[in-house]
Structure 1
Amino acid sequence: MWRKVSNDFMREDKPYGPGDFRIYGEAVISMKLTKPETTFKPRSDEEIEANVSLEYSEAWMANPSERANRRSVRILAGELDSQLSSRFEEPAQQADWWLSPNRTTIYLATSWTDRTQERIPGQRSLPQITQLFKSTDQGQEWERLRWPEDQNITFLRFLDPQRGYLIGWGPKVWRTTNGGGRWDELPVPEGARNPENPREQFDLVALGEDNVLRMAFYDQAADASQIHALPWGEDISQQTFTIPGHTVMDIAANTEGMVFVLTTQGAPYFSLPTEERGAPRPSVVWGWNGDTLQRLHEFPPELTGYALYLTPSEGLLFDGVDESSLRGRNVTAISYDGGASWEIEDEGSSSQGGYYDVQTGTRWRVEGYSLYRREIP
């Protein structure tokens, strides 16, 4: 069912990796986090014979902190049948972006920490520098938007080039109605915050086709995930439902407000005691119609789900990994009856990148330098 589109997709860009790419016809654009290239000093035949260890060409290459400081984010663009060119690059160890459907507008948030700093006694973590950028011409020219560097941005969720949200540590939520000229901080559910952890995050934040921002977090006291909804134009979110004993992995909502939720059984993985982390955690799909929460389907425990999509023909697409083998294999499952029955498909060994286009129903996959596509309507 896969069709090969290219044999040398992004081959020329180093280091290797396709990044978080998007394809429109023959046009390609990608947001790629990169590591610095490192090299080694040549060894003589005698040194090779004596099994003398390789030595980095420059001293900084041997230092993990220096290597981390040289990481960057790169925006590349071009055509499928030609070499992609770099349109923007900025030092960053983490980044997130939003690309408008017509590829014209890009928002990019970057985070960078000087890993060579010495931590002050009592300091839980090193300070992080956050920046926010915007392009309105497909990445040709960029504007750095006004943003406080000490306010982390983890996720970007936009309705269109003028209206959207930023979500960061705390957790915190900001909203713009004028293309990033002004950002207003909005209240978040009190239970989502941890006074002992200023870098607390939501388990999941999703913006549905109904223009509702949904935030999910695990309530340890109640042993349940809370899901809060914030319709566009409102300032305060409301709790809509809870899912006992499960952690939310993804949320998809259609224009009529039908909400589908992908969860894994149990509390968030890193909150569990070490001895409990190896227990089976089945993935489950739920449906919420505004009044009733229904458990639609539980997958075999070896299938771990990471994403849930609505297809153009109103199907449900489950994206995950079969972890029954050491190397793991990509799997998808599709349902066209509202989540009652599913057809599971093995997509082969883990890929280097890919995504599903919910507008066109096209699934993309990169393996080696080969780019493949298939249709899931």
Structure 2
Amino acid sequence: MIRLKRWQIVVGGLALLAVVTHGYRVMTPPGWQTISTTFMKSEKPYGGGAFLLHGNEVMTLKLAGPVITFKPINERQNPDVAEPTEPWMNNASETLNRRTVSFLRGMFDGEMTRFFQQPAQDAAWWYSKDWNTIYVATGWMDYRIPVPDSGLSPHVARLWRSVDGGKTWAQLDWPDGHNVNRLHFLDSQRGYAIGWGPRVWRTMDGGRSWHEIALPPMATDPREPRRAFSSSDLGPDGVLRVAYYVPMLGRIRQSSVVYRLRWDATRFEQDVVLPDQVVVQLASSNEPPGYTYSVHALSTLGPPRNRDDRNDNARRTGALSTWSSHAQSKVEQLHTFDQRYSLDGMSVGKHGVMLVYATDATRDGAPHDLTFYSRDHGKSWDDIDDGIVQGSSFDPQTNTQYGLYAYTLKKRSF
């Protein structure tokens, strides 16, 4: 799902000489190299979106609000107070309704072309390795109408597909009310759509038809009709994994459970249990077909945040766990992260490289983005304070990370 977070990333890694000290390694952090000072500068409103680079090419899916303009000083009622040009620009419901998702493609040091734009407050996408086939799911609500007693405002979902690298798009047949917040595909024809409920659908013909999959136990809660999985991941062997928290499931109490679904199966089977954890993200290592691979879970320890408890500040110790892709594998907890860090997500790269993205909001001033990194399959870690990043991306094939600071695009290799 596309959100305005800096960690909508792919993956990457590091390799540096180090000295082990208390589980972390003292090493010279990889440095940034500036590759552009005008990245997306002509694209309004500001923002790089969920961008990806391959050579000199870039494509991005960008969620953005409308452009807000202001009257010149001599036309304002109060010269000291900024006044929007049009009345709707000062109305939060109107600006939310005018949010859009756009797909752009071009050269990173040149102009970008917008090939797709639709009204949306949230979106999800999937793209093939060659960037030829792209799926985009959009979701939109009318914030001008009163919220119904159920609290469930009407939601309009759309699903789109391009087979020419995003130049042209076709809308697929999809029910309006079926939100999609995750898209996972094995190839251009076979994949999954996951949405509120939660619900899982499978397609084998490029999205022309979909079959709903029965859910594992306790995945749904009648009190939360728009509940979502904590995370989902599609392994290189086509096994779909979903994670969710359960207060009780047989002998399992206050834990996250991970269930797996083989591509040729019609029902989920239990994979692992993560006691006293809430999963933030699942991620698999990318191994060739037929090879055993590792599955990783980034979690917070303890129960979910109690929003009704004013004393619950949501700070939790973070944890990284791993297990093998074969059935009935044993879970190993690799590392924990201090509770002052809010965990945003993770990436798994080649040759034992792992990245964890976090935010530190406990210091004075604006929150800082941090990248924790490991090059030995998560056994030891170091971190980099990235300051305030407007967007980033990671290329798993070249182990290169890209960071966007205003219009300045930087990269670092590990």
Length-normalised TM-score, structure 2: 0.85
Distance apart, 1:45 and its partner CA:
8.8
Deviates more, 1:258-267 or 1:173-182: 258-267
Q: Secondary structure at the match of 2:88?
A: helix
Aligned to 2:270: 239
- Please provide the CA RMSD for this pair: 1.9
Aligned to 2:41: 11
Output one character per residue of 1:276-307: Cα deviation in whole Å (capped at 9) or x when no partner. 43264111111223431222211222233322
> 22, 27, 44: which one pairs with 2:74?
44
Structure 2: runs of 5 or more not aligned? 1-30
Deviates more, 1:314-323 or 1:362-371: 314-323
Q: Secondary structure at the match of 2:394?
A: strand
Q: Secondary structure at the match of 1:278?
A: coil
Output one character per residue of 1:225-252: Cα deviation in whole Å (capped at 9) or x when no partner. 1111112221111111111111111122
Quote the Cα distance in structure 2 between the aligned partners of 1:56 and 1:45: 11
Give the counterpart letter for 2:363 in structure 1: S
Give the counterpart letter for 1:59 in structure 2: P
**1:361 and 2:396 matched:** no
Quote the Cα distance in structure 2 between the aligned partners of 1:252 and 1:84: 31
Q: Secondary structure at the match of 2:218?
A: helix
Q: Secondary structure at the match of 1:44?
A: helix
Deviates more, 1:325-334 or 1:354-363: 325-334
> 80, 87, 90: which one pairs with 1:59?
87
**1:250 and 2:286 matched:** no
> 305, 329, 332: which one pairs with 2:371?
332
Relative distance call for 1:304 and 1:40 in structure 2 (3 A) is closer
Aligned to 1:372: 410
Give the counterpart letter for 1:358 in structure 2: P
Distance apart, 1:128 and its partner CA:
0.4
Quote the Cα distance in structure 2 between the aligned partners of 1:330 and 1:118: 37
Between the two structures, name the one with larger relative contact order (CA 8 Å, sep ≥ 6): 2
Give the counterpart letter for 1:14 in structure 2: K
Q: Secondary structure at the match of 1:68?
A: helix
> 389, 395, 399: which one pairs with 1:351?
389
**1:137 and 2:175 matched:** no
Distance apart, 1:35 and its partner CA:
0.6
Deviates more, 1:217-226 or 1:315-324: 315-324
Quote the Cα distance in structure 2 between the aligned partners of 1:189 and 1:45: 61
**1:316 and 2:346 matched:** no
Quote the Cα distance in structure 1 between the aligned partners of 2:157 and 2:136: 11
Give the counterpart letter for 1:169 in structure 2: W
Distance apart, 1:23 and its partner CA:
0.7
**1:259 and 2:286 matched:** no
Quote the Cα distance in structure 2 between the aligned partners of 1:29 and 1:300: 35
Q: Secondary structure at the match of 1:61?
A: helix
> 48, 58, 62: which one pairs with 1:28?
58
> 126, 132, 138: which one pairs with 1:104?
132
Quote the Cα distance in structure 2 between the aligned partners of 1:199 and 1:112: 15
Distance apart, 1:47 and its partner CA:
5.8
Aligned to 1:277: 312
Quote the Cα distance in structure 1 between the aligned partners of 2:75 and 2:118: 40
Quote the Cα distance in structure 2 between the aligned partners of 1:163 and 1:114: 32
- 1:92-171 aligned at under 5 Å gives the runs 92-120=120-148, 122-171=149-198
Q: Secondary structure at the match of 2:208?
A: coil
Q: How many residues are matched? A: 371
Output one character per residue of 1:159-215: Cα deviation in whole Å (capped at 9) or x when no partner. 211111100000000011111111110011130101112101111111123322111
Aligned to 2:208: 181
Aligned to 2:218: 191
Quote the Cα distance in structure 2 between the aligned partners of 1:374 and 1:209: 26
- 1:200-211 aligned at under 5 Å gives the runs 200-211=227-238
Quote the Cα distance in structure 2 between the aligned partners of 1:48 and 1:137: 52
Q: Secondary structure at the match of 1:223?
A: strand
Distance apart, 1:40 and its partner CA:
2.3
Quote the Cα distance in structure 2 between the aligned partners of 1:81 and 1:339: 35
Structure 1: runs of 5 or more not aligned? none
Give the counterpart letter for 1:284 in structure 2: A
Relative distance call for 1:235 and 1:4 in structure 2 (3 A) is same
Relative distance call for 1:118 and 1:319 in structure 2 (3 A) is closer
Aligned to 2:26: none
Give the counterpart letter for 1:266 in structure 2: G
**1:219 and 2:246 matched:** yes
The answer to whether the Cα contact below 8 Å between 1:223 and 1:244 also exists between their aligned partners in 2 is yes
The answer to whether the Cα contact below 8 Å between 2:76 and 2:83 also exists between their aligned partners in 1 is no
Aligned to 2:14: none
Relative distance call for 1:43 and 1:322 in structure 2 (3 A) is closer
Quote the Cα distance in structure 2 between the aligned partners of 1:191 and 1:129: 27
Give the counterpart letter for 2:379 in structure 1: A
The answer to whether the Cα contact below 8 Å between 2:352 and 2:376 also exists between their aligned partners in 1 is no
Quote the Cα distance in structure 1 between the aligned partners of 2:315 and 2:224: 28
Quote the Cα distance in structure 1 between the aligned partners of 2:95 and 2:297: 39
Quote the Cα distance in structure 1 between the aligned partners of 2:76 and 2:168: 52
Aligned to 1:75: 103
The answer to whether the Cα contact below 8 Å between 1:210 and 1:253 also exists between their aligned partners in 2 is no
Quote the Cα distance in structure 2 between the aligned partners of 1:178 and 1:58: 46
